[in-house]
């Protein structure tokens, strides 16, 4: 399962200037009340808590203060091959910057080693404009690129976050999803209150005990409550108006949400008897999508008393 989101963040005055400078290949440090220059510049002095207002350029050369070898890099780190993360004290700064150092092996890096910035090819106005650091050898800094102070160019940034999970289904969910692939619907009964839950949930939310008894349920039931969707939204695949409804399968104690079609939205009503319309068998997977929608059975409506406790 993949979870992805591009966080967009606005920047305050300090970070706007810092990121704008990075885009121009210059690094700014913040001057604290005690005169120390800190990179990245904090927005507030950690001791006096006063806003940091003075920013000064520091060198793009520096010294490794401490480091750790990254033998197995993870996604989105600065380098895909093994590298070092290091605390780097830039010339002109009094506190270290955390960043990557590109070397081939742990033998090629040591505390005290001089390193220099390798700038990213495409400036983005983020900390990633410093692609990584590399050994400086005998090179000396040419000084920061000249930069224009003024209204900062960069006032926001985007942080793409991509996470991957191996999502294991619980034993009850496994049974449920495997059942769907066979066209069957399985729920579970609480041994204490005897309520039947579908989809099954592992523990009875009333009694807090494992739901152990398996129950096969029919694919028909009663519509308990519903709403008519009249509002168009991005990605909508069904023409409006259509009906989303809670369907209480016969024998179950929990209704679940599904789509109601094959009926004019205006004719849908509470208590209406409905049945599942399955996709063609060859398209079945371990998913609730195997049921395309529910449609009216034509049976007389269920009596209110039969579902009033399930609303």
Partner 1 sequence: MRDVAVVGFAQRQMKELDGSPTCLEILVPILADLYEQTGWTKSDIDFWCSGSSDYLAGRSFSFVSAVDAIGTLPPVMESHVEMDAAWAMYEAWVKIQTGEVDTAVVYGFGKSSAGILRRILALQLDPYTAQPLWPDTVSLAGIQAREGLEKGLWDEAAMASVVARSMSDAASNEWAIRRGATSVEDVLAQPLYADPLRRWDCAPVSDGAAAIVIAAGDKALQARQRPAWITGFEHRIEPIALNARSLVESSSTAAAGTAAGTAGVDLAELHAPFSHQELILRSSLGLADDVRVNPSGGALTANPMFSAGLNRIGEAARAIWAGDSDKALAHATSGPVLQQNLVCTMEGR
Binding site for partner 1 (CB under 8 A): 1, 3, 7, 9, 11, 15, 18, 38-40, 42, 46, 65-71, 74-78, 85-87, 95-100, 106, 111, 126-128, 157, 159, 161, 163-171, 173, 201-210
Number of helices and strands (H, E) in the chain? 2, 18
CB of 311 to partner 1, least distance (A): 15
CB-wise, 69 or 284, nearer to partner 1?
A: 69
Residue 22 beta carbon to partner 1: minimum distance, rounded to whole angstroms: 10
Closest distance of CB 103 from partner 1, Å: 12
**Are the C-beta atoms of residues 214 and 175 closer than 8 Å to each other?**
yes
Say how far apart CA 272 and CA 302 lie, in whole Å: 6
How far is the C-alpha of 154 from the C-alpha of 170, rounded, in Å? Answer: 47
Cβ(41)–Cβ(55) under 8 Å?
yes
Sequence-separated (6 or more) residues with CB below 8 Å from residue 85: 67, 68, 70, 98, 99, 100, 101
Q: Where are the beta strands (DSSP E) in 73-122?
A: 83-90, 97-101, 114-119
CB of 87 to partner 1, least distance (A): 6
Would you state the structure tokens that stand for residue 117, as one six-digit string?
């910035």
Residue 177 Cβ, how far from partner 1 at the closest point, in Å?
A: 12
Q: Which is nearer to partner 1, 11 or 55 (CB)?
A: 11
Q: Compare residues 107 and 266 and give the one whose CB is closer to partner 1.
A: 107
Contact of 57 with 18, CB cutoff 8 Å? no
Q: Which residues contact 22 (CB under 8 A, 6 or more apart)?
A: 123, 125, 126, 127, 129, 130
Residue 281, Cβ density class (10 Å: 0-12 exposed, 13-18 middle, ≥19 buried):
exposed
- Of 1 and 151, nearer to partner 1 (C-beta) is 1
Contact between 82 and 61 (Cβ < 8 Å): no
C-beta closer to partner 1: residue 87 or 261: 87
Distances (CA, A) of 84 to 38, 64, 71, 101, 109: 22, 10, 8, 5, 8
Quote the least distance from Cβ 35 to partner 1, whole Å: 16
Return the number of the residue (191 or 241) whose C-beta is nearest partner 1. 191
Compute the least distance from the CB of residue 106 to partner 1, in Å: 4
Cα of 265 vs its chain's centroid, Å: 35
What minimum distance in Å lies between the beta carbon of 295 and partner 1? 31
Structure tokens that stand for 45 in this block:
């002095």
Q: Which is nearer to partner 1, 190 or 276 (CB)?
A: 190
């Amino acid at each position: 399962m993949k979870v992805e989101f591009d966080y967009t963040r606005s920047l305050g005055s300090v970070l706007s200037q810092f990121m704008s400078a990075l885009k121009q290949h210059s690094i700014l440090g913040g001057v604290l009340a005690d005169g120390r220059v800190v990179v990245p510049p904090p927005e507030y002095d950690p001791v006096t808590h006063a806003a940091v207002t003075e920013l000064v350029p520091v060198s793009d050369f520096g010294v490794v203060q401490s480091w750790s070898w990254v033998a197995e890099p993870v996604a989105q780190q600065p380098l895909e091959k093994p590298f070092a993360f290091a605390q780097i004290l830039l010339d002109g700064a009094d506190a270290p910057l955390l960043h990557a150092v590109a070397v081939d092996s742990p033998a090629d890096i040591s505390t005290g080693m001089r390193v220099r910035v390798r700038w990213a090819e495409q400036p983005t106005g983020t900390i990633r404009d410093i692609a990584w650091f590399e050994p400086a050898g005998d090179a000396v800094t040419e000084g920061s690129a000249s930069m224009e102070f003024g209204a900062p160019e960069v006032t926001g940034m985007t942080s793409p976050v991509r996470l991957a999970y191996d999502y294991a289904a619980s034993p009850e969910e496994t049974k449920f999803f495997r059942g769907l692939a066979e066209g069957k619907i399985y729920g579970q009964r609480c041994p204490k209150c005897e309520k039947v839950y579908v989809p099954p949930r592992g523990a009875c939310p009333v009694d807090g005990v494992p739901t152990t008894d398996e129950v096969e349920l029919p694919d028909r039931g009663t519509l308990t409550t519903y709403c008519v969707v009249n509002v168009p939204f991005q990605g909508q695949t069904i023409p409006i108006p259509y009906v989303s409804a809670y369907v209480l399968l016969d024998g179950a104690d929990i209704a679940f949400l599904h789509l109601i079609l094959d009926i004019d939205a205006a004719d849908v009503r509470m208590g209406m008897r409905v049945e599942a319309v399955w996709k063609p068998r060859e398209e079945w997977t371990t998913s609730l999508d195997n049921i395309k929608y529910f449609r009216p059975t034509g049976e007389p409506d269920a009596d209110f008393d039969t579902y009033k406790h399930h609303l």
